[in-house]
Structure 1
Amino acid sequence: MNIREIEYITIPVSNLEISLRFYHEVFDLQIVDLPNGDKGADLRKMFLDFRQVDNVSNPISFGLIAKDSMEAIKAHLINYFVDIVDEPSTKTEVRRKVNSITILDPDKNRIEVNEFK
């Protein structure tokens, strides 16, 4: 088996409308109707699949790659009053250095926003 990409990630949300607004406004993602009936966000090569649940008791973690500078990313997040849980830091990943900031969505799903150098 030769797998190279992720098709989708399912994100548990307690209030679909609040989450759709968050991901659209904060990340400027296009919201789309998915074939399974869920709403999703289009990331060109993959989708975020928003699945409404009664209670998000097990939030997930995932990472996104941004094309902006970390300074611009942090300013944008502050402007939208997003919960920053880990301030920007530089680390070395498998192949290269990355600047990273970690935030929470309205359901406490943990999102690492990365700027690769």
Structure 2
Amino acid sequence: MNIREIEYITIPVSDLEVSRRFYHEVFDLPIVKLPNGDMGADLRKMFLDFRVVDKVTPILFGLIAKDSIADIQAHLINYFVDIVSDPTEKTENRRNVNSITILDPDKNQIEVNEFK
């Protein structure tokens, strides 16, 4: 077996409209209907699958942005996004990365990364 990439990540949400608006407005992601009937965000090679659940158990996942970390932070502040950790610099897989962690409306943690 030769796995090459992730097709989708399921994001537990309590309110589909609030989540769709958040991911569309904050990350500028197109919202699409997925083959399984769920609504999700299109990341070109993969999808974020929004699954409405009775009780959200938050998850953690990472996204890669092309913007500078300063621009990312300013954008998140402008959208009043909950920032859980200020930008930090670290090394991942032998690459330098600037990272900031935020919360979506259901307290899912999203690490937004700018690879150098």
TM-score normalised according to structure 1 size: 0.98
Runs of 4+ with >4 A deviation: none
| 5+ residue gaps, structure 2 | none
Q: Deviations over 1:66-85 (max 9, x none)?
A: 00000000000000000000
Q: How far off is 1:54 after superposition?
A: 1.4
Q: Deviations over 1:29-63 (max 9, x none)?
A: 0000001110010000000000001121x111000
Q: Which amino acid aligns with 1:19?
A: S
TM-align CA RMSD = 0.5
The separation in 1 between residues aligned to 2:97 and 2:91, in whole angstroms, is: 6
Aligned to 1:114: 113
Kindly, what percent of the aligned residue pairs are identical?
82
Q: Secondary structure at the match of 2:80?
A: coil
Q: How far off is 1:95 after superposition?
A: 2.5
The separation in 2 between residues aligned to 1:35 and 1:94, in whole angstroms, is: 33
Aligned to 2:13: 13
Q: Secondary structure at the match of 1:45?
A: coil
